[in-house]
Structures are given as C-alpha cells and as structure tokens.
Chain A
Amino acid sequence: MPSRSEIRPGRMPPEVHPQAFADLHPPLDGHEVRVAADRCLFCYDAPCVSACPTGIDIPMFIRQLATGQPLVAARTILDANIMGGMCARVCPTETLCEEACVRNAAEGKPVEIGRLQRAATDAMLETGRQPFRRGAPTGRRVAVVGAGPAGLACAHKLAVLGHAVVVFEARAKAGGLNEYGIAAYKATDDIARREVEWILGIGGIELRTGARLGRDVTLAGLREEFDAVFLGLGLGATNALGLDEGGLAGVEDALAFIERLRQAYDLSGLPVGRRVVVIGGGMTAIDAAVQARKLGAEEVTIVYRRGPEAMGASRYEQELAQTAGCTIRHWARPAALSGEGGVLAAVTFAVTQLADGRLVDTGETFTLAADQLLKAIGQTFVAGDVREAGGLLDMAGGRIVVDAERRTSLPGVWAGGDCVAGGRDLTVVAVEDGKRAALSIDRTLRAAMREAAE
C-alpha cells in the first residue's frame, strides 16, 4: 500500500543535482562564438529579425560580436529587448528567430542566435554596467503593476524616457515567472535575480514588493495618483481538472511544484513522487515532468488529450522530455482519481479522439498507478484583481483586451504580457508588450505636456 512517504526527498544522490540541473545550453566559449557568428550571412531585411517578437537587429549584433565587441553587441540586443539575457536562455528559438534563419534552407541548421545572444548579454551582465541612462526627468509618474518581464521591461523603458516609475509587486521577489516559473536548467546561476537587479540599476524605478493590486492598492487609486498605469499581472490562477480531486494528497499544480524547486536552496531536500503523472501539453507540463525526473522520480508520464502537433510545447521541447526519460501519452484525458488513505494511488484516463473536429471519448479507459499528479493544463487571468474597474475594462477570453500600442479600453491604463488577450505566453512577447506600452505611454504623456504648455 502506497504511503505518504512515496513523495519524499533524496530520490537522487545530492551530487547528481548540479549536473542534472546544469545549463540546458551551456554558454559558447570565445572560439565557438567566432565559428557560430561566422555562419551568419548578414541577411538583407533578415527573416530572423521579423521572427523575433522584440525585433532585435540580429545580423548587426552578430557582426558586432564577431568583431570582438560583445558589449556593443549587447547594447544592440538590449536596445530592443532589455531582457535579452533571459530571452537568450528561455526563448523557444526553434519556433522564433532560429526557425526563420535562412541557414535552415542552406544546410538544415540555423545560426545559433540564442547562444550568440547569450554570449553578448552575459558579457554585459558580467560588467555589472548599465548601458542605459535615465532620461531627463519629465515630472510624470507611472505605476507599473507586476514585476514580471512585461512590467520590468515597461518600467525600464519608462525610466530611459525620463518618467518616474513605481512598481507594485504582490510577491516578495520581483521577476515574475522568470523567478518562479522558468525551468531551473534554463535559469542557472541565479540569472533571474541578477537580471532584475541589473535592470533596476538604471535608477528611477521604485520597487514595492508585497503590494498587491486589488488588496493593497486599487486601480482607481493608481489612476488617481499616477499619470499612467501599466498592468503586467501575468496569469495568477491555474485551471482545474474538472473532476473530483477528492482532496487527495499528492495532487497539485505543476506551477507550485516548479516554484518550490526554483526557490529551494538544497534540491536534495525537495520531495518528489516515485511515479509522477503530469497532465497537460505546454511548456509547464514539459518543465514539470523533466524536473521531476531530474529529482529522481522513477516513472514520469505526461498525458495530453490531443496529438503531438497540438501540444503547446515545441517538437524540441517534447524531445527534451523524452530524452530526460519521460513518457508522453497522447489522446487521453483524466477521468477519475483514486486514492488510499487520502493519498493519491492511481489516475484513470479516458481515451479521446477527434470526431467532426470535436474531442470526444472513445469509451476506452486505462489506469496509471501514480503517487504524484501535477496539473499543467493552463493558467488563467485573475480578473478579480481589476474587478473594481467593472465593465469598463474590455476583456476577451478572460484576458484584458489591448490595441497595437497595448492600450486598454480604460484611458490612462495600458497592459501587456500574459494577462492580455491574443498573446503567445512567452517571456519575449511580454517584454515587447512592456516596451511598446512604455513608448505609447511616453507619447501620450508628452502630448499632454505639450498641450498643457500651450
């Protein structure tokens, strides 16, 4: 009979952890940088640039890197994307810039843009230098809610443009999912914290942690007190399985599991099940499964209700999970959980199929023995945080509606990142949202300043 102790720490000898959780893509050394950079053709109107959500001038930074000026290259990157360092680690480049690289057509292997970007941004981060200066003060104050990639990118750009920024962050640490969500092997060496500190190093940004919109401050209050408000709230809630979870021990959100892991000082103290089942098909599912394996789970099965093409995780990420020893089962949805003594023991799945474009059960079922179940079936926006805006804040599919400049339907309120509708739930997209919103806020405030002066 399974007991509570099946979810326990120390499944892997502690000496294995540093290796298991080491950098997924270790940094390129000087020679590797030269060889990799040499493959870039300095394309005209480069397709890789169009494929980068932040539009980094990739051929230019690679050329600068190749000529021995990593800091100049970093400047080119950071001009377009202040989180170029984190993006170099977490971007699914295989579906972004590197997918578009013309070298794929030439020899089936793109220029290693992500790793080159990392070489440049690492060099900058190592100097500890902030290449940007605060702009001449405009006397305008902007509230940024949420210190994730969207909020921080917005805050930094606003500081560059001379506005005073106060960042309200509900949690104890800034960084958003960079700090709490991204897989450990993508964010080694405390990069999330170091990058946040470096970004704030520009000055002019006041960070208030433990300050939650909807609890400690209100949207109405912020609109009153500040000249503009940016919402970068991310997705605060996770979806439920839609079945009776019966309060069984061993069932939890994948995100909570990952967060514990990211915040742990000592991985050997971290409990993990022997047989782990992960439900979902996105990046969170992959990350949770791979990290459970790395912690020493013997069997890890990802179960997804549709086929591999429909998974949110890219081919590359699916392979990453398989290489780590996880099994991916498609076309099944959890139908029932069973437990013994209040502890999860097995999960029963209904086999699914497509009928006339709709997902239906075939009637078959199978059961997997499991002592830990991680739910990674998507996150949702916590609309409650902005409820007092009432019907004035247009929403679509449970997220905030914005225009191309990231303006919401509420005057003076901008939004970006995962909490807005129609995004791609990627760090790099959140950064672009924050940047665009900052530029739009700046235009709006300056126009108002000109008007007032006239």
Chain B
Amino acid sequence: MADLSVDFVGIKAPNPFWLASAPPTDKAYNVERAFREGWGGVVWKTLGEDPPVVNVSGPRYGAIHGPDRRVIGFNNIELITDRPLEVNLREIKEVKRRWPDRAMVVSLMVPCEEASWKAILKRVEETEADGIELNFGCPHGMSERGMGSAVGQVPDYVEMVARWCKTHTRMPVIVKLTPNITDVRKPAEAARRGGADAVSLINTINSIMGVDLDRMAPAPNTDGKGTHGGMCGPAVKPIALNMVAEIARFPATRGLPISGIGGIETWRDAAEFMALGAGTVQVCTAAMVYGFRIVHEMMTGLEAFMDERGYARLGDFVGAAVPNVTDWQYLNLDYAVKARIDQDLCIKCGRCHIACEDTSHQAITATKDGVRHFEVIDEECVGCNLCASVCPIEGCITMEPLVNAVDRRTGRFVDGSYRNWTQHPNNPRAQVAAE
C-alpha cells in the first residue's frame, strides 16, 4: 500500500490533503469534523489583529453553475476571521493537542509593520501550531487596507514580510501567493529571497460572477451594490496549475517547496498538482460544496493510482512532470498528429465536423456516399485537437502521431526528427543547426 504521509518543510501529516485557509477551517468545530473525516492538515482561517473585521451580512458567496447546478466556479467577498484573536488561538491550541499527528498551519495577515508581525508570531507559537502561512493573497476588502494581495503584488513587500517572519519565529513560513499578478515567479522569488520555506498558491482571482439584469448590478450584490470578489473552484485549476509549474521550473525558484491550491476536487486533480511539483495540496471550494467526506475519495483514489504505478511514496512522483513543461520555442515542430475518429464509438452528432468546418481547417466530412459519416481528411487536418475537445464521447477522437509516415497535408515525411523554432529556417534568428 502506497504511503501518503508527508513531511512538508518539517510539517508532518498523514496525507497531503489539507484544507485551505477559509470557512472550513474557521473554528474548532469545523476542523474537528474535518480531522475525523481524515484530512491530513488544515491551514486555519486567516487571523488578524483585534478588533476583528466585520463581514457583510448580505450574500458573501456567488457561483457559476453548469446546467445541472454543478458548481464550476465560486467566489467570495469574505474577509479574514471575524472572531477575536484570543478565541482562535485558544481553539488552535486545543485542536492541535487533540490531533497531534495532523498538520496545523496558521494563516496570518496583519498590517505591514514589523511590530505587528512580531507580536502575532509570538502568540501563534504558544499554540504549538506547526507552521504559519502568510496571506498575501486575498484580493478583496483586505487589499483596500494595504494587506492581502496589496502586499502579494509587490515583490519587495513579500520579501520584507517573509524576512520579518523568519527573523521572529522558529516556525516554518509558507507564503501564500496571489494570482492577481502578471508574473507569479516574481513574488515567489521574492519569498525565497526573504527566507520563506515554501510558497502556497493560488489564492482567489478577482472576479464578478455575473450581472443581475433586473437590478443592473453585480450578482450577487449587497443592497444593490456589488464589488469584485475572489474566484476559486474547478474553473481556476488550469490557471493554478500553470502558476505552480512556472515556479517549479523557473531557475530562481526551482526546488522551493510548493503547496498547490486551486480547484482541487478529486485525487486526480491533486495528483496533477503534485506531478507539477506540489508537495501538498489544499482544498477549499470542493469541501464547501460537497462536505468533508470527499477526502475519502481523494485518499483512496491517490493510493490506488500510486499502487498501480508502483510509487511507494509521494516523493516518487512529485515534480515528475516538471521536466516536460517547457517554452513554446522548444516544442518539436517536426512532430505531427492526425485526428482519428473511432467509428464504433462515434454517435454521429456532427460537432467535430461543424467545429472544424466553421472555425478551423475543413478537415472532417459530414457525409460519405450520401450517408451521414464523420471522418478526418488527412490532407487538411493540422492536428489542432479542436474536434477531440468538442466531441461528447471520451476517447472517440484521438490524436495519433505520425510515425515514419508522410503527412498528407504538407507532403513531409515524418521520421521522428526534432527541430524546434530556434532551429527552424523560417525563424530569422534561427541558430545554425549543427550538421
């Protein structure tokens, strides 16, 4: 049986599935329930200085749904914890004592002054929590007060606060990054310079979930006025994966431990983050939508996957996909694929045809000998993957590599050679290929 345990920058946990700092980790009651279901750790809902913040009493959350009401994206305008610091610290201590094997990380956000950080760090240490996470990510409310993403968007501040924390506590420091930035590698690099032990990402993305066309206001809204919130959930996963990969492969941040966050719902989502370098993963929306029991599916699924692949421990595959993430200019331009339609699986909906016909390369038939029939025309197919993306039947359209065969579109013999853009004759700046 695969070993799911983790030692993430010295923080030990029975599994890599942690709850992200958010409502599920807001108080002892929730966290106790989570631990009973098997979550490996939590990042406690972000603490701040007293007096506590005040949340709106209107709607805090919004969602975008699939037609069957499946939550695809979720957003919130919630602030950090609105409970007194003392209460949170007492509960953290109690829960950690009762669940010593689980990771207890405390998320923090205080004004950008060294004294503020120093003061709160001392108090958190007394709880015997395992580590801290610096919330440089919240994109709404707190950022207007110069905290959260207002810090995360300025690499110099990230570095500065990380350094203060490393100076004033023995606890491991994780810096949580905001995705509301052009190049996520910059704040990650700054965190590392400041001495941070790890980064976690992503926090939520600036968003307006919809517009109420009757009230002509953002939906949901507070008494007729709306503000942007932070978006999370399955829709943000691709953005998060890219940011994780960027940090994992960038020379200045390579090797920096990463806790992956963003749209994780299943073991597979988690495994994907890990393959791109995440040592642990954090979950918020999926727990808020389905409850804590989902962690069973995550644990059993990941275990089965690892057993099947012969991975004894997480370290056997964490980061395994990183070497295969590269720049566009290094992709092999000599490689070619053609779409193939499995006629036995095809249900003849015609979506591949109309997609390719209207918007791409006119490479799929609609009829053959007068009969409804969908087949790829190799002479036209550029292998773009559009048809396979729109086909409703999984596995019906596959992209088949040409191996020692003529690409009938270009007439070129595909022999398995490698030639990227830097070597391509059409590139005016191509380096002379070594003959």
> A residues bordering B, Cβ < 8 Å?
31, 34-35, 37-38, 41-47, 66, 102-103, 105-106
CB distance from B345 to the nearest CB of A (A): 9
Q: Which residue of A lies closest to B357 (CB)?
A: A44
The listed residue (A34, A35, A37, A43) touching B350 by CB distance below 8 A is: A43
* Contact in complex: A102, B348 (CB < 8 Å): yes
Q: Which residue of A lies closest to B390 (CB)?
A: A41
The listed residue (A38, A46, A103) touching B67 by CB distance below 8 A is: A38
**Chain A interface mostly:** helix
* Contact in complex: B351, A35 (CB < 8 Å): no
* Contact in complex: A106, B372 (CB < 8 Å): no
* Contact in complex: A44, B67 (CB < 8 Å): no
Within 8 A of A (CB), among B332-358: 347-351, 353-354
Q: Which residues of B contact A38 (CB under 8 A)?
A: 66-68
For the complex, is B401 an interface residue (Cβ under 8 Å from A)? no
CA distance A35 to B354 in the complex (A): 24
B 365-399 to A, binary, CB cutoff 8 A, 1 in contact else 0: 01000001000000000000000000011000000
CB distance from A93 to the nearest CB of B (A): 18
* Contact in complex: A34, B68 (CB < 8 Å): yes
Q: Which residue of B lies closest to A38 (CB)?
A: B67
Decide yes or no: A105 and B348 within 8 Å by CB, A44-B354, A44-B366, A45-B372 being known contacts. Answer: yes
A-B contact pairs, 20 of them (CB 8 A): A31-B69, A34-B69, A35-B67, A35-B68, A37-B67, A38-B67, A38-B68, A43-B349, A44-B350, A45-B350, A45-B366, A45-B372, A46-B350, A47-B348, A47-B372, A102-B347, A102-B348, A102-B349, A103-B347, A106-B347
* Contact in complex: B349, A44 (CB < 8 Å): yes
CB distance from A298 to the nearest CB of B (A): 45
Instruction: Give the contact-size bracket for chain B.
Output: 10 to 19
CA distance A106 to B350 in the complex (A): 13
CB distance from A104 to the nearest CB of B (A): 8
Within 8 A of A (CB), among B307-330: none
5 new A-B contacts at CB < 8 Å, known A38-B68, A106-B393: A34-B67, A35-B67, A44-B353, A46-B350, A106-B347
CA distance A103 to B351 in the complex (A): 13
* Contact in complex: B349, A41 (CB < 8 Å): yes
* Contact in complex: B372, A41 (CB < 8 Å): no
CA distance A41 to B393 in the complex (A): 11
CA distance A37 to B366 in the complex (A): 24
Q: Which residues of B contact A34 (CB under 8 A)?
A: 67-69
> B residues bordering A, Cβ < 8 Å?
66-69, 347-351, 353-354, 366, 372, 392-393
CB distance from B241 to the nearest CB of A (A): 27
Q: Which residues of B contact A44 (CB under 8 A)?
A: 349-351, 353-354, 366
Q: Which residues of B contact A46 (CB under 8 A)?
A: 350
CA distance A31 to B67 in the complex (A): 9
Q: Which residues of A contact B348 (CB under 8 A)?
A: 47, 102, 105
CA distance A45 to B366 in the complex (A): 9
CB distance from A202 to the nearest CB of B (A): 31
CA distance A42 to B67 in the complex (A): 14
Interface centre among B67, B68, B348, B354 (most CB of A within 10 A): B67
CA distance A254 to B341 in the complex (A): 52
CA distance A87 to B276 in the complex (A): 55
CB distance from B138 to the nearest CB of A (A): 33
Q: Which residue of B lies closest to A41 (CB)?
A: B349
CA distance A44 to B387 in the complex (A): 13
Interface centre among A37, A38, A41, A47 (most CB of B within 10 A): A41
CB distance from B361 to the nearest CB of A (A): 16
Q: Which residues of A contact B69 (CB under 8 A)?
A: 31, 34
Q: Which residue of B lies closest to A103 (CB)?
A: B347
CB distance from A79 to the nearest CB of B (A): 22
Q: Which residues of B contact A35 (CB under 8 A)?
A: 67-68
CA distance A103 to B348 in the complex (A): 9
CA distance A46 to B372 in the complex (A): 10
CA distance A31 to B66 in the complex (A): 12
CB distance from B308 to the nearest CB of A (A): 27
Decide yes or no: A105 and B67 within 8 Å by CB, A44-B353, A44-B354 being known contacts. Answer: no
CB distance from A448 to the nearest CB of B (A): 38
CA distance A45 to B371 in the complex (A): 12
CA distance A150 to B351 in the complex (A): 35
CB distance from B364 to the nearest CB of A (A): 10
9 shortest interchain CB distances as A-B pairs = A44-B350, A38-B67, A44-B354, A105-B347, A102-B347, A43-B349, A41-B349, A102-B349, A106-B347
Q: Which residues of B contact A42 (CB under 8 A)?
A: 351
* Contact in complex: B68, A41 (CB < 8 Å): no
